[in-house]
Amino acid sequence: MGKEAELRDSVVFQLIFFRSRSSRHWHANKMRDEMEVFCYKKVREILTKIEPHMILVLGFETYWQLKKNVLEN
């Protein structure tokens, strides 16, 4: 598969779909845990449907959260 096909077949999305003014504001959000669980469930559904051969994760914290909350098996 050439580089063009790899890019054409790529999918990019966030682990957490919600935005916040700052990290401090996000961590103070009373609904944060519920919102994160929602996102993890959706990411798990997306990965199950697209069956990726490879996952590129940007950021160490994102990697650990993905591994812990989505790819636990």
pLDDT given for residue 73 in this prediction: 66
**What are the residue boundaries of the structural domains of the chain, listed by start?**
13-69
What does the alpha-carbon distance between residue 3 and residue 40 come to, in Å, rounded to a whole number?
30
pLDDT given for residue 5 in this prediction: 76
pLDDT given for residue 29 in this prediction: 93
Q: Walk along the chain (73 residues) and give the pLDDT tens digit of each residue.
A: 677 877 788 888 999 999 999 989 999 999 999 999 999 999 999 999 999 988 999 999 999 999 999 998 6
The number of beta carbons lying within 10 Å of the beta carbon of residue 43 is 20
> Does pTM surpass 0.85?
no
